Structure 1
Amino acid sequence: MTATTDTTGAVPSADAGTPRPKAAPDAAVDQGRTGAPPGRRRPATPYVLGGALLTMSVLLLGICAQLVLLSPLEHRASQSAGFDRLRGELAAGTVAVSQTDQKGRLLTPGTPLMFLEIPELHVREVVFEGTDSDVLAKGPGHRRDTLLPGQAGTAVIMGRAAAYGGPFGKLAELVPGDTFRITTGQGRFTFRVLDLRRAGDRAPAAPAAGTGRVVLMTATGTPYLPAGVLRLDADLVGKAADTPALRIAPDSLPASELPLRGAPAVWWQLLLWLQALAVTSVAAVWAWFRWGRRQAWIVSVGPLGAIGLEIAHQITRLLPNLL
C-alpha cells in the first residue's frame, strides 16, 4: 500500500489531532496588570502617599468651602434667629440696656442686643454681645467693655469684612456726613460719620460730656487676608440716653475678643479630627486600588466630606475674628 499525502504534499505529523496546551502567562504581563510581581502584595507606600495627598486636598477644599460657601449661610441663619429673638424682646421691653441682664448677671456672649441699619451700604444686621470669632460668625458684635450706642460715652461694634456675610466689608465707602441708625432697648439713635481711620491715623477728640459716639471696626486688606484694622467714628445726633455704670473694666477683655484675634484652640479635639481624616483618607486610597474608582467614591465621599467640613470649621475659629 502506498502512503497517503495531503493536497499540499506535506506529510501530517502523528500528533496533528492532539490539542496543544496553553502557554503560561508571561510574568511581565501579569506584573503590568497588577502593579506588583505575581504572588506579592502591593507595598503600603502608595496607600500612605495617596492618603497624605487626599488629606491635604480635603483640608484645603474644606476651608475654602467653609469660608466662601457655607459661612454666608450660617450667618444668614444666625441673623434670622437673632432678629426673631430681638424683635420679641424689644416688644416686651426686656432687651438689656447695660452689660448685665435684668437679674444683674453679665450678658452671655452671643446675646442679641441691638439692630444696626446703614442705608448707604444696604446693611441691616442684628448686633450680638461679644466680639470673639464665634460671635462675629453670627454678625457684628458689641465690645463688652464699652457702653451701648446712644449712651454718653463711646461704644465699639466690630464686624467681619469678608467671611460670614462680610457685613462691614464696604465700611470704607462711607464718607463724613453719612448717617446710620442703631436700635437698642433705649430707643432708636442716629449717628453721623466723622471720618475713617487706619493704623497711624490720628484719633478724633473724645466726645464731650453728655454726648455719645460709636466706633465701627473691621479689617483692611484683601478679602480673606486681613492686613490691619479700619475704624469709623460717628457721633450721636441728639441727646444721649441714661448711662449705667460699667461692670467690665475697659481693656480687661480676653485676647480672643480683641481685633484680629482668633478663638482659643481646642487642640485635642482638632487632633482627633485630623487623625480621623488621615485614617479615612488612607482607607479611601486602599479602596480605590482594591475595589475600583466607583466603589471607593461611593463609600468614601460622605465620611471625607463630613470630617473635612468639621475640621474646616474648627480651623476657621482660629483665624482673625475680623476676617
Structure 2
Amino acid sequence: MTTATPPVAAPRAGLALAGAALCVLAALLIGFAANLTVVGHLQHARDQSTAYDDLREQLALGTAPVGQSTYDGKPLALGAPVALLRVPALGIREVVAEGTTSGVLMSGPGHRRDTALPGQAGASVIMGRQWGYGSPFNDVHRLPGGARIEVTTGQGVAVYEVTAVRRAGDPNPAPLGAGEGRLTLMTASGGAYTPEDVLRVDARLLGDAQPSPARPLRPGWITAAEKPLAGESDVWPGIFLGVQGLLAAALLTVLARRRWGARQTWVAAVPVLVALGVLVSGQLTRLLPNLL
C-alpha cells in the first residue's frame, strides 16, 4: 500500500517579513561599519583628490574664491574648494571646502562660512572630523605651541603659529586687534566615534593680512546643521526612499530563496543588499555629529 506524500506547508507571510527585516538590519549595520571605516576613508581620499585638482586649476587660472562669492559674483556653493591646508608637524595636507555640514565634512575639512577666509583679517574657522571619513583632525590636539600651519588660498599662502589648544571650559582668546588674523581648527574631543565636546586649536597670523571683500553672510548667519557637533535633519526624505528600496530588495531576496535555493539567491542578492545598505547608511551618518 502506498501512502500519499503530505503537502508541504506554505511559508507564512509573517516569516517572510521577519526575514526581510533581518536582511535590512544586517545591510544597515554592515553599511554603517563600512561608512565609518573603510568606505568612508576611501570616499574621503577620492573626494580630496578631485578637490585638489579643481583647486589647483582655479589657482592657476586666478579664479579661486577669496570671499563668499565666486569670481563672477555668484554665491559660493557648499562643498566648493576654497583652500589647501598644510600642518607639517602632523603631515596634514587637506583641501578645505566651503561649509561645515556633516555632508561637506565627509570629503574633508570645511571652512565656516560666516568667518573670514584664512589669511584675511579677523577670525577664521576650519572644522574637521576626528575619526570618521579620513579622520583629518584626529591628532590636532597634539600640536605644540609655535607649530606652523600653512593655508593656500586665491590670495596666496598664509602662515599661522599655534598659540593654544582649548577644550571645553578653557578661556577664550583675547579679542583681535585691527589688521590681526586668527585661525581656529575645530574638531571633536572624546573617545573613538563618541564625541563629547569641541576641541579648538588657535593660531595667530604671521605677516600682513590680505584684504577681505564684503561678506553678505554675517557672523552667526549659518544654518543649524553647520554648527559644531550638529547633524543634517534635511536628509530624512532620501533616507525614507532608500529604506523603501532596501526593504523591497530584502523581500525579493526572501521570495527568491524559496524558488532558487539559498546558495544562488545569496550570490545574487548579497552585493545588492550591501550596496543599498552602504548608500542608505551613508545618508544616516549625515544625521550624526559633523565632527565625529
Q: Does 1:92 align with 2:61?
A: yes
Residues 243, 280 of structure 2: 8 Å contact kept: yes
Match of 2:123 in 1: 154
Indicate which of 114, 123, 126 corresponds to 2:95: 126
Match of 1:186 in 2: 155
Distance 2:48 2:233 in 1: 24
Indicate which of 56, 61, 76 corresponds to 2:45: 76
Distance 2:134 2:237 in 1: 30
Alignment partner of 1:188: what SS?
Answer: strand
Unaligned runs of 5+ in 2: none
**Which amino acid counterpart does residue 31 of structure 2 have in structure 1?**
G
Match of 1:300 in 2: 269
Residues 235, 286 of structure 2: 8 Å contact kept: no
For normalisation by structure 1, the TM-score amounts to 0.85
**Which amino acid counterpart does residue 248 of structure 1 have in structure 2?**
L
State the Cα distance separating 1:194 from its structure 2 match.
0.8
Q: Does 1:268 align with 2:245?
A: no
**Which amino acid counterpart does residue 24 of structure 1 have in structure 2?**
T
Match of 2:204 in 1: 235
Indicate which of 54, 58, 79 corresponds to 2:23: 54
State the Cα distance separating 1:206 from its structure 2 match.
1.4
For normalisation by structure 2, the TM-score amounts to 0.94
Indicate which of 70, 74, 83 corresponds to 1:105: 74
Distance 1:102 1:119 in 2: 30
Q: Does 1:257 align with 2:226?
A: yes
State the Cα distance separating 1:269 from its structure 2 match.
3.0
Q: Percent identity?
A: 45
Match of 1:213 in 2: 182
Q: Structure 1, residues 200-223: CA drift from partner, whole Å, max 9, x if none?
A: 110110122111110110111122
Larger RCO (alpha carbons 8 Å, 6+ apart): 2
State the Cα distance separating 1:66 from its structure 2 match.
1.5
How many residue pairs get aligned? The number is 292
Match of 1:7 in 2: none
Match of 2:3 in 1: 24
State the Cα distance separating 1:289 from its structure 2 match.
4.2
State the Cα distance separating 1:265 from its structure 2 match.
2.8
Match of 2:192 in 1: 223
Unaligned runs of 5+ in 1: 1-20, 31-36
Q: Which structure is larger by alpha-carbon Rg, 1 or 2?
A: 1
Distance 1:270 1:316 in 2: 10
**For the aligned residues, what is the CA RMSD?**
1.7
State the Cα distance separating 1:290 from its structure 2 match.
4.3
